[in-house]
């Protein structure tokens, strides 16, 4: 079915597969930024929701910052936020109400502010209130824009010396490497040679449960987001070693009939004890949960594995959407929900 290009074009009317295939280009986006701290920046808070928060989560894993960094998915900011805090306010649409409220909170705390948006109220407020603005290219769904944010972050954090010199060069190298890796997942590649299509067929009709170690956690989270929004499919995620301290035992009992599919992203870069935990958990849970579908990320470096795994999740979820008979691009129920909140 997934080799029927006519069906793919009909169901993927807005070309989500084409957008996914060009994500490597987002890592090469250049930005202008004029931000000079008014006081020493002692910590960073990143306020965002959904796909607009994902890049912050990604940054916690790689390359990491030399100052405390917290992600806030809420209307309000932590109590410690003050004039020594850099608050990054992020919304692709620019109209996310939680993020706009977080901006008000940041202003009231006299925090230093940088705005990242593709437009909307947030970008307009940045211009009027003279907050430094990193303007993201618009025109696609927020979950498909995540890679645009990464070079924007690099621009900001390099100017503050919060990341090591030379890290941005790795980003450009990864983008070119991803370009070649991406080719094997495209719709014209038949299922027999297409890993993304093969995984989609195994996951169709199931609630998808994602697991990873700490290093690949952003990719597992990205799969979960994309299954929800692209495939309109229930999914959740967790990570090792926390999994072994609670969720692990949950698999041992009810429900007896488990209509789930388990996917584990197992990186050879994770701590050796994390890798052993995957193996031991699989053995002890044999017969109590579905056998995990193991994804072993390609790449020799952490950024290669993170971006590769994230892009694979995009393709898999879009193919599941096509198998589900739905258009992967629109999220009509989310838009209906937002309108209902304003009634």
* CA distance readout (Å), 257 to 247, 254, 285: 17, 8, 14
pTM: 0.95
Distance CA 153, CA 135 (A): 12
> Of the CATH numbers 3.10.20.600, 3.40.50.2300, 3.40.50.10490, 3.40.30.10, which one belongs to the domain with range 5-13+181-324?
3.40.50.10490
Distance CA 152, CA 140 (A): 17
The residues, ordered by sequence, that sit 6+ positions from 256 with a Cβ below 8 Å of its Cβ are none
How do residues 6-39 score in pLDDT, each as one tens digit? 999 999 999 999 999 999 999 999 998 888 999 9
**Residues above pLDDT 90, as percent of the chain:** 86
Residue 198 backbone dihedrals phi, psi, to 5 degrees: -60, -45
Q: What is the separation, in whole angstroms, between the first and last Cα of the chain?
A: 42
Kindly state the average pLDDT of the residues 207-224.
97
Instruction: State yes or no: pLDDT of 254 exceeds 80.
Output: no
Q: Where are the domains of the chain?
A: 5-13+181-324, 18-175
Q: What is the pLDDT of residue 34?
A: 81
Task: Check: CB of residue 179 under 8 Å from CB of residue 232.
Answer: no
Q: What is the pLDDT of residue 165?
A: 80
Report the topology of domain 18-175: Rossmann fold (3.40.50)
Kindly state the average pLDDT of the residues 307-320.
98
The residues, ordered by sequence, that sit 6+ positions from 318 with a Cβ below 8 Å of its Cβ are 12, 16, 17, 20, 226, 230, 231, 328
Residues recognised as catalytic: 229, 245, 338
How do residues 79-88 score in pLDDT, each as one tens digit? 999 999 999 9
Instruction: State yes or no: pLDDT of 258 exceeds 90.
Output: no
Locus of tokens 């290669």: 304
How do residues 81-115 score in pLDDT, each as one tens digit? 999 999 999 999 999 999 999 999 999 999 999 99
Confidence class for position 325, pLDDT limits 50, 70, 90: very high
The residues, ordered by sequence, that sit 6+ positions from 333 with a Cβ below 8 Å of its Cβ are none
């Amino acid at each position: 079915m997934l080799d029927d290009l006519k069906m793919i074009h009909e169901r993927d009317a807005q070309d989500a597969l084409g957008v996914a295939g060009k994500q490597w280009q987002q890592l090469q986006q250049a930005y202008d930024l004029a931000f000079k701290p008014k006081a020493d920046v002692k910590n960073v808070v990143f306020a965002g929701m959904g796909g607009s928060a994902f890049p912050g989560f990604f940054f916690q894993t790689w390359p990491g910052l030399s100052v405390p960094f917290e992600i806030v998915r809420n209307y309000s900011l932590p109590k410690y936020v003050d004039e020594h805090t850099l608050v990054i306010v992020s919304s692709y649409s620019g109209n996310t109400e939680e993020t706009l409220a977080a901006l008000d909170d940041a202003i009231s705390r006299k925090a230093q502010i940088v705005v990242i948006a593709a437009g909307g109220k947030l970008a307009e407020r940045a211009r009027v209130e003279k907050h430094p603005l990193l303007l993201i290219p618009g025109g696609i769904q927020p979950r498909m824009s995540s890679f645009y944010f990464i070079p924007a972050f690099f621009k900001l954090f390099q100017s503050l010396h919060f990341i090591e010199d030379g890290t941005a060069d790795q980003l450009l190298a990864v983008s070119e490497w991803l370009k070649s890796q991406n080719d094997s997942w495209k719709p014209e590649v038949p299922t027999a040679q297409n890993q993304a299509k093969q995984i989609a067929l195994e996951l169709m009709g199931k609630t998808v449960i994602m697991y990873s170690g700490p290093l690949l956690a952003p990719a597992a989270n990205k799969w979960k987001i994309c299954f929800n929004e692209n495939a309109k499919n229930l999914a959740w995620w967790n990570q090792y070693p926390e999994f072994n301290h609670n969720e692990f035992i949950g698999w041992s009992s009810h429900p007896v009939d488990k209509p789930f599919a388990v996917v584990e992203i197992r990186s050879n870069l994770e701590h050796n004890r994390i890798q052993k935990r995957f193996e031991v958990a699989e053995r002890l849970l044999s017969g109590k949960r579905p056998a995990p579908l193991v994804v072993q990320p390609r790449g020799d470096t952490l950024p290669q594995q993170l971006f590769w795994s994230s892009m694979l999740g995009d393709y898999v979820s879009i193919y599941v959407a096509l198998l589900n008979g739905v258009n992967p691009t629109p999220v009509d129920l989310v838009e209906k929900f937002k309108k209902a909140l304003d009634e």
